[in-house]
Amino acid sequence: MSHGPASASPARSGPSFVGAAAIDALPGDLAAATALVNAFVPRDRIQAVHRRRLIGFAARHPDALHRSCAPGHLTASAWVVNHDATQGLVLLHRKIGRWLQPGGHADGEGSLSGVALREATEETGIDGLEIWTEPVDIDVHLFVNRRRTEPDHLHFDVRFLVRAPRRAVMRGNHESEELRWIGHDELTEPELGLDASTRRLARYGFGLARIVN
């Protein structure tokens, strides 16, 4: 597979790493988000189940891109790897109190790769991130706010591989208490307490990154 510079167009044949300018040109409605998920080829049974649930939910809820869709809504997240794909970035989420990958709500934006890249940039503070234009994972999970400022609801999360530039500097923002680079062998560290969903994303993200890097 080929990978081009940040200015490469995602309309080219096959997936590639692209930057924000190329992602901004993608269509951004629910139909575009659903088409992306429809084209995703599951790697395992869990991904197949989550893909089917997301497609069904979007068909029943035309407002699925918005937080106002009370039963649940679409989100996007990223497994951010360093340029050599030897480490991935996790953050200690201030609201949830757990180590997670960067990500957030679509908030009406149907270009889920754009959402994932935006959230990764905001939450890590790293300039010049590039995103692989096809998802690497899909997950459906119940979001429980430990501060009880909102009711429990489902997050339909579409996940992408994001690559940092060489000598990347992370700064973080108000949403996280700490950021940390970790290797593949640290995914099961008790101190981090990464859940099965995050570990699955990391495994697929690391695997793809080592192929296309």
Contacts of 115 (CB under 8 A, 6+ apart): 75, 76, 104, 105, 106, 107, 109
The phi, psi pair for 124, rounded to 5°, reads: -100, -25
Per-residue model confidence (pLDDT) at position 53: 98
How far is 68 from 78, CA to CA, in rounded Å?
A: 23
Q: Are 161 and 79 in contact (CB under 8 A)?
A: yes
β-strand partners of 18: 131
> What interhelical angle do 45-60 and 30-39 show, nearest 10?
160
Level-2 CATH architecture, domain 17-212: Alpha-Beta Complex (3.90)
The pTM for the full model equals 0.89
Name which of 154, 197, 145 is nearest 61 in CA terms.
154
How far is 92 from 85, CA to CA, in rounded Å?
A: 21
**How do residues 119-162 score in pLDDT, each as one tens digit?**
999 999 999 999 999 999 999 999 876 666 667 899 999 999 99
Per-residue pLDDT band at 4 (split at 50, 70, 90): very low
If DSSP codes are grouped into helix, strand and coil, which group holds residue 60?
Answer: helix
**How do residues 13-64 score in pLDDT, each as one tens digit?**
589 999 998 888 777 899 999 999 999 999 999 999 999 999 999 999 999 9
Domain ranges across the chain? 17-212
Q: Are 140 and 74 in contact (CB under 8 A)?
A: no
Share of the chain above pLDDT 70, in %: 91
**How do residues 163-198 score in pLDDT, each as one tens digit?**
999 999 998 777 778 999 999 999 999 999 999 999
Region 97-126: mean pLDDT is: 95
Contacts of 84 (CB under 8 A, 6+ apart): 213
Cα-to-chain-centroid distance, residue 77: 2
**DSSP result, 30-57:** HHHHHHHHHH---SSHHHHHHHHHHHHH
Region 113-124: mean pLDDT is: 96
